[in-house]
Amino acid sequence: MKTLIVGAKGQLGRGLQATAPENVKLVCVDVDELDITDADTVQAFVTRETPDLILNAAAYTAVDKAEAEEELALAINGTATGTLAAAARSVGARFVHVSTDFVFDGMSGVPYAPDAPTGPLSAYGRTKLAGEQLAGPDALIVRTAWVYAPTGGNFVRTMLRLMGERPEVRVVADQIGTPTYAPGLAAALWTMAGAGVAGIHHYTDSGAASWYDFAVAIQEEGLAAGLLQQEARIIPIPTSDYPTPATRPHYSVLDKASTFAALGGPTPHWRANLRVMMQAIKAEG
């Protein structure tokens, strides 16, 4: 099976390459090789490569910056998704698109089902919702949240750095979601795509946490793995004490029942995967 991975240099793109089945021939591109905002270029590339599957891991992810660059974010997260989906259909390829918990308003008291009403609070969320709508009904759309990996810029690596530099860190405690280990998400996308799953589904690790809970766990696991040498004081703060240009949902836990059914069981708990990630960083030295 020939598979085109778009956004191959990002956290998820690298995870997709690392977890690819043995029978898959990969074509990996990032912005340097393919400008997904150029419809003619995308169509020509897909026509030439004729993949059986296109995995879209490309995204404009600068949540706060998107408030001032919504047009650019929409071009990448929205319009380009429609372009890739149309190109996939033109060659008979399946299309897989990754979306976000930020399509919800965070007012729910229970995990969001895939068919729950959307209501994004930010430009980033609006542009990702547009991408879902443009992907088409035949696509597999997987919403995820709080993604991290051993490499790249993410909350875990930022916390490890700050905890190693400062005696004290302040972390928001009233935003609740679920961390997601990128390699686990990548493996799930391969499984679901291979099984012919379509429609909107949710994937994160199991469990729930605030950013404060996550930070506390990062420090505990970092100390246990020898990645941190001393404890920093972690202070929980409300969102109001850490204002940002983009409004974030206070609660964005995702209901993953349909995904668990497709995968044959639940995902690992976020704390277990955090430990896996720490060992991966330690192994890399």
Helices (H), 79-181: 80-90, 123-135, 155-165
pLDDT, one tens digit per residue, over 59-72 is 999 999 999 999 99
177-208, pLDDT tens digit by residue? 999 999 999 999 999 999 999 999 999 999 99
Tell me which of 60, 112, 124, 181 is the catalytic residue. Answer: 124
pTM of the predicted structure, to 2 decimals: 0.93
Q: Cβ(79)–Cβ(52) under 8 Å?
A: no
Q: Is 124 a catalytic residue?
A: yes
Inter-CA distances, 56 with 124, 239, 252, 269, 279, Å: 17, 32, 22, 25, 28
Band of residue 49 on the pLDDT scale cut at 50, 70, 90: very high
Q: What is the pLDDT of residue 283?
A: 87
pLDDT band at 153 (very low <50, low <70, confident <90, very high): confident
Domains in the chain, ordered, with CATH? Answer: 2-284 (3.40.50.720)
pLDDT in tens, 227-279: 999 999 999 999 999 999 999 999 999 999 999 998 999 999 999 999 999 99
Instruction: Using alpha carbons, list the distances in angstroms from residue 100 to 18, 175, 180, 205, 206.
Output: 22, 15, 11, 14, 16
